[in-house]
């Protein structure tokens, strides 16, 4: 079974220059809204904040050969598909891992949580990439 949490894409595409603390706060805001409507208070907020925290580190690790340059934006046209898959894949995986581990903490069903993490990460990544193609198609320069 796999679950899809496309809302994480909102954190993925925040501007590169945005200060990390702002990203953390936005992550918390998005997470808590998801939680309030899903009756899962704290779970999505915790995992989205964790992902927002990892974002600068992963961006640093994945720096392209000539840096990010002026006017860098997270569209697949600009970054290339492979780079985007690596960037989004790592962050989505970290988000889902925290989410399902917290969820499973009540039952110690960690094996099942890991399995769900892998399948759901793949599904969310696929949906995010499709979404990126759909909604940023017109911005070719």
Where do contacts with other proteins occur on this chain (CB under 8 A)? 3, 20-21, 24-25, 28, 31-32, 35-43, 45-46, 49-50, 52-53, 56, 102-107, 109, 112
What would the two tokens of residue 3 be?
């679950």
In the complex, least distance from residue 118 CB atom to other proteins, rounded to whole angstroms: 17
In the complex, least distance from residue 113 CB atom to other proteins, rounded to whole angstroms: 10
Measure the CA–CA gap between 106 and 116, rounded to whole angstroms: 16
Length of the chain, please?
141
In the complex, least distance from residue 90 CB atom to other proteins, rounded to whole angstroms: 17
SS (H, E, C) 19-61: CHHHHHHHHHHHHHHHHHHHCCCCHHHHHHHHHHHHHHHHHHH
Pick between residue 79 and residue 121 the one whose CB is nearest to other proteins. 121
Pick between residue 29 and residue 89 the one whose CB is nearest to other proteins. 29
Measure the CA–CA gap between 25 and 113, rounded to whole angstroms: 27
In the complex, least distance from residue 42 CB atom to other proteins, rounded to whole angstroms: 3
Among candidate residues 127, 109, 105, the one with its CA nearest the CA of residue 2: 127
Pick between residue 33 and residue 76 the one whose CB is nearest to other proteins. 33
């Amino acid at each position: 079974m796999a679950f899809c949490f496309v809302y994480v894409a909102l954190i993925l595409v925040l501007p590169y220059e945005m200060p990390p603390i702002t990203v953390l706060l936005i992550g918390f805001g998005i997470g808590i809204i998801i939680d309030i409507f899903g009756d899962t208070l704290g779970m999505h907020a915790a995992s989205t904040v964790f992902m927002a925290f990892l974002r600068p580190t992963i961006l640093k690790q994945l720096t392209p050969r000539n840096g990010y340059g002026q006017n860098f934006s997270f569209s697949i046209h600009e970054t290339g598909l492979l780079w985007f898959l690596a960037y989004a894949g790592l962050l989505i995986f970290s988000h889902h891992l925290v989410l399902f581990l917290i969820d499973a903490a009540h039952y110690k069903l960690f094996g099942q949580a890991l399995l769900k993490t892998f399948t759901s990460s793949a599904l969310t990544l696929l949906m995010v990439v499709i979404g990126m193609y759909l909604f940023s198609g017109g911005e070719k320069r």
